[in-house]
Amino acid sequence: MYFDGHWQGIYEQAIAAMTDYLLKIGLRLEAQAFRRDFLERMETYHSERDLKLIEHTAAYILRKALKDWGYPSIRDEEIRTALQTMYHITQRHWQIEDDAHPTLSVLRERGYRLALLSNAADDSNVQTLVDKAQLRSYFDVIYTSAAMGIRKPNPRFFEMALKSLRVPPWRAGMIGDMLIADILGAHNTGVFAIWITRRADAFTNHPYLESIHPDVTISSLSELPYILKKLEEENGEGRDVHCPALIASNKRTQLRPSLFA
């Protein structure tokens, strides 16, 4: 999926909508200062999360902010509604790639088992986006870092998906556009790695262009069925890249799809 607007501006609108909800339920916040504070906290989270590989959810960050603002006992349903209000704004701008449904359909017809692995601060937001894009029926497993508590490239994330799909690493492949999270993560788990470059020109990739090398590079998802068929023909009974399982990782473009079959 890709984001069709200017992320910073839309994200600020989303935080403003969330702040309005918090004011509506009776929290006495200085709106502009709180919006700025929460934005800074989220920017710090975005800059640090890939270093520590531990996921602090958006709910955790919001609850911590409200505690610092003098509200330590906000109910869980109010935290959830506040975040839903925020993500409702950003969800309007996430679009599915034109070749996603056709490609996933072909892979399912060929017998691949598919999983979606997403580094994301909010599990509910990812699940909503999956349903809005009508992708759920393609996947056997959908995991988010928010739900699992760890982030790609942590090998445990990949190992949990492999266990759920009941396939060993050597029978799996992954397609992703983030060199650290997807490609290095796959290699560290013994999984074949395919880099999709269509929206991979992210600043987080630039430092690793010379040091992290995918097994295969493609420019669009529609190339995937051909690549897998070719690998099957070339590898024969060797590395079983044509395995009956495929893991796809969801990502934001500036920030969070990939193949882990």
Domains of the chain, with CATH numbers? 2-91 (no CATH), 97-250 (3.40.50.1000)
Per-residue pLDDT at 257: 34
Residue 167 has pLDDT above 90, yes or no: no
Give the whole-angstrom CA distance, residue 229 versus residue 223.
10
Q: What is the spatial distance between Cα 203 and Cα 197, in angstroms, rounded to a whole number?
A: 13
Question: Is 60 exceeded by the pLDDT of residue 196?
Answer: yes
Task: Report pLDDT for 241.
Answer: 42
pLDDT, residue 14, reads: 98
Q: What is the pLDDT averaged over residues 31-46?
A: 96
Compute CA distances 251 → 23, 147, 198, 221, whole Å: 32, 15, 12, 14
Q: Tell me, what's the pLDDT at 252?
A: 37
Q: Is 250 a residue whose pLDDT tops 50?
A: no
Residue 56 DSSP one-character state: P
**What is the crossing angle of helices 31-52 and 58-68, to 10°?**
140
Tokens 């992708």 locate to 135
pLDDT given for residue 247 in this prediction? 57
**Residue 235: predicted pLDDT:** 66
When the pLDDT of each residue in the chain is averaged and rounded to a whole number, the result is 88
User: What is the spatial order of strands in the sheet that 216-218 belongs to?
Assistant: 141-144, 114-118, 246-250, 173-176, 192-196, 216-218
pLDDT at 194: 94
Provide the pLDDT for residue 243: 40
Facing residues of 216 across strands?
194
Q: Which two tokens stand for residue 23?
A: 């004011």
Q: What is the pLDDT of residue 53?
A: 74
